[in-house]
Amino acid sequence: MNNTQINIVDWGTVEYGEALERQTELYEKAKELKNSGKTAENNIIICQHPHVYTIGKSGKDSNMLISEAMLKHLGINFFHIKRGGDITYHGPGQIVVYPIIDLEQFGLGLKEYVFTLEEAVIRTCAEWNIRAGRLEGATGVWIDAHSPKERKICAIGVQSSRFITMHGLAFNVNTDLQYFHNINPCGFTNKGVTSMAAELGEAQDFNRVTERLIQNLVDLLTGKNR
């Protein structure tokens, strides 16, 4: 039986390690239910993290540009995790979204799912008159793609097993972009990073952007606005 009901859960500001443990618990529970022939619950987690760097399973440690001692001095944690993608930064002013859902319930494959995450961000940017899009060969959402000024506004990295997903997207709204200077974001050395605040010249209403992003994502997942 299909279950396209989605629970929206706001964890507020939470340390990355704690969020990873809580995510993993929900992910493993959903897989267990599906493996036993039952219907998994679909959850979209919203949160912010204190300053942290994470690197995916295919990432290179060389893309971290500061030492372990400097990380400790700055009070920033660094996690190796199982999602796709390379290194990225999470911090205040960034919307982090972790959908823990069964893609088969929504008739989606993994590539379509990543496209859906990107599309939700692209549509949200458009509501603030920011023209965003995709960059061939580079997951995520970009401004001025395929130009010398191309810059990423949203990073995406997911993990899935039996079409159950975890991890997700990190959308820069009022993010302090200086923290990206300590890494090669997503493994790139020749592309920039941006935020809604940087594009529009002032801080944005974080709660309003979050509300619209989640609504766009839910509408896309449930087929209301694909």
Q: What is the CATH number of the domain that holds 217?
A: 3.30.930.10
- Beta bridge partner(s), residue 160: 165
Q: Residue 80: how many CA atoms within 13 Å on its side-chain side? A: 8
**Tens digits of per-residue pLDDT, 162-205?**
999 999 999 999 999 999 999 988 777 778 999 999 999 999 99
At 159 the three-state DSSP class reads strand
The parent domain of residue 151 ranges over: 6-221
- Looking at the domain assignment, is residue 153 inside a domain? yes
- Looking at the domain assignment, is residue 136 inside a domain? yes
224: left (phi over 0), alpha (psi -120 to 50) or beta: alpha
CA dist 51 and 72 (Å) reads 12
pLDDT for residue 2: 61
pLDDT for residue 89: 95
CA dist 58 and 8 (Å) reads 30
DSSP characters for 4-63?
A: --EEEEEEEE--HHHHHHHHHHHHHHHHHHHHTTPPPPEEEEEEE-SSEEEE-TT--GGG
Which of 47, 125, 154, 186 is an active site residue?
186
Number of domains in the chain: 1
pLDDT for residue 188: 79
pLDDT for residue 1: 47
pLDDT for residue 45: 98
Q: What amino acid occupies position 101?
A: I
- Looking at the domain assignment, is residue 101 inside a domain? yes
pLDDT for residue 72: 92
Q: Is residue 154 flagged as an active site residue?
A: no
- Looking at the domain assignment, is residue 99 inside a domain? yes
pTM, full prediction: 0.94
- Looking at the domain assignment, is residue 1 inside a domain? no
- Looking at the domain assignment, is residue 226 inside a domain? no
Q: Which residues of the chain have pLDDT under 70?
A: 1-3, 225-226
- Looking at the domain assignment, is residue 125 inside a domain? yes
- Looking at the domain assignment, is residue 92 inside a domain? yes
